[in-house]
Amino acid sequence: MGRLDEKTAIITGASRGIGAVMAIHIAKEGAKVLVADVLDTSKTVKTIKSNGGKATGLKVDVTSDSDLSKMVELAEKDLGGLDILINNASIFASLQPKPFLQIDNDEFDSVMTVNARGVHQATKSVVPSMLKRGGGKIVNIASGTFYYGPPGLSHYTASKAAVIALTRGHARELGDKNIQINAIAPGLTESESIKDHKGFDPARAPTVQSRSIKRDMLPEDLLGTLMYLITSDSNFVTGQTLNVDGGKINV
């Protein structure tokens, strides 16, 4: 038996990278998974089903209330309800690091809208469904950049700082409804989305050297923390951000 048997989950931004790895893992643990993304979700869904799991995919823009409404409706119809939301959708792999003086307003607004407002909107969309189940678990994927402010990614860093703030605020408001909301702040993760991204090359070796555990971070390194936050192990934990980066930042 899996630790998530009889649970249903939505994970946004799960067509590839960290989101796909998380979706496949929680399905192996027994969860029924709705894979949501603006990109094609079929590869992740196919992998889950080939492993004997249950999954359905849907094209979802997390900044669209109508898309999010359809997402929740599909989860209730196809999966039987909703217990878990993982807010993973984010603009990151498509960014080219640059000095903040070169970041125009449109790029800044796009990053903030998807990465921050998208978490706000997606969380709002699932609360009524979770209340029908008596509660739920929400995990927001933040970023370790919040703690040290790397050059070239000021807009991304600001958006993930907002995610941490939303995690705290939403947790305060939903604590009495048995919905726990926490965040994970990963370090630079060598997912399929960025492993060939030359723009991040200058940061790779220094990042590994700054860690207590001196190796590349992989998406799989997040799975233990994720499982803690979406199971009953964390029933008395909410509003927290857990830093997972091999010991680069001590907070």
Mean pLDDT by 10 residues, the chain (251 residues): 95 97 98 98 98 98 98 97 98 93 98 98 98 98 94 96 98 98 92 69 80 90 98 98 92 69
DSSP SS3 for 23: helix
- In DSSP terms, 35 is beta-bridged to 11, 57
The pLDDT of residue 206: 80
Would you call 148 a catalytic residue per the annotation?
Answer: no
Does the pTM surpass 0.85? The reply is: yes
Provide the b/e sequence for 135-172 (b: ≥16 CB within 10 Å): ebbbbbbbbbbbbeebebbbbbbbbbbbbbebbeebbe
The pLDDT of residue 198: 67
Q: Which two tokens stand for residue 3?
A: 């630790």
The pLDDT of residue 189: 83
The pLDDT of residue 221: 95
In 3D space, the residue among 215, 190, 209, 185 whose CA is nearest the CA of residue 200 turns out to be 190
DSSP SS3 for 57: strand
Q: State the residue for tokens 């807009």.
A: 155
The pLDDT of residue 41: 98
Count CB-CB contacts under 10 A for residue 212: 9
Give me the catalytic one of 147, 148, 156, 228. 156
Q: Are strands 84-87 and 32-37 parallel, antiparallel or unpaired?
A: unpaired
CA 210 to chain CA centroid, Å, is 24
For the chain, what's the residue count?
A: 251
Q: Which two tokens stand for residue 121?
A: 């909107």
The pLDDT of residue 18: 96
Count CB-CB contacts under 10 A for residue 181: 28
In 3D space, the residue among 52, 48, 26, 55 whose CA is nearest the CA of residue 224 turns out to be 26
